[in-house]
Structure 1
Amino acid sequence: MKKIAIFLFWVSLSFGVLGWLALTGLSADCYFSSKADQSDATRCYAIALTLSSLLFFTAVALSAIAYLWLPFKKQRLTVFIVILPGVFLLTHLF
């Protein structure tokens, strides 16, 4: 079970990184695009937030499943890199 937990840890960490990249990359694209219409910018930010929240939800769910079987260092990484930012963004953005 420990090998499966470590595999889930790396998968959840990659989903968390993809969530951060989606949030920053798509938001930067919305910010620096030359669109003058307010509805297009709102739609762009909505897509960025929705995509990143789906990735964060997957990351938090996978890391929560594997949390008990992880070593202490990986538990701290899971809490501070995946779970706390993911839960914060999932609860405060929507």
Structure 2
Amino acid sequence: MKTIAIFTFWVSLSFGAIGWLALAGFSADCYFSPPATQNSVMYCYAVAITVSKLLFFIAAALVAITYLWLPWRKQRLAFLIVIVPGLLLLTRF
């Protein structure tokens, strides 16, 4: 069970990293090449936040399933990289 938990941890960490990259990439695209109208700008940022929310939700769900079987160091890493940002994105926006 522990090997499955560690594999799921790395998969969830990958989803979390892709979530961070999606948020940064889409936000940078909205910032450096802004659309013409204010509605287009809001839509651009809404897409960036929604895509990253979905990725963080998948990552947080996978980490929550395997959290108890992970070693202490991996629990801290999962908590700081996946769970905290995922909860902030899911509850704030």
Classify the TM-score, shorter chain: over 0.9
Which 4+ runs in 1 deviate beyond 3 A?
A: none
Relative to structure 1, the CA distance from residue 25 to residue 73 in structure 2 (aligned partners, 3 Å threshold; closer, same or farther) is: same
Q: How much is the aligned-residue C-alpha RMSD, in angstroms?
A: 0.8
CA contact (8 A) 2:12 2:63 kept: yes
CA distance in 2, matches of 1:46, 1:34: 14
Separation in 2, partners of 1:82, 1:37: 34
Structure 2, unpaired ranges of 5+: none
> What residue is the counterpart of 1:78 in the other structure?
78
* Partner in structure 1 of residue 18 of structure 2: 18
Aligned-residue offset at 1:27: 0.5
- Contact 2:60–2:86 (CA<8 Å) still a contact in 1? yes
Structure 1: stretches of 5+ with no match in the other structure: none
How many residues align structurally? 93
SS in 1 for 2:61: helix
Identity of aligned residues (%): 66
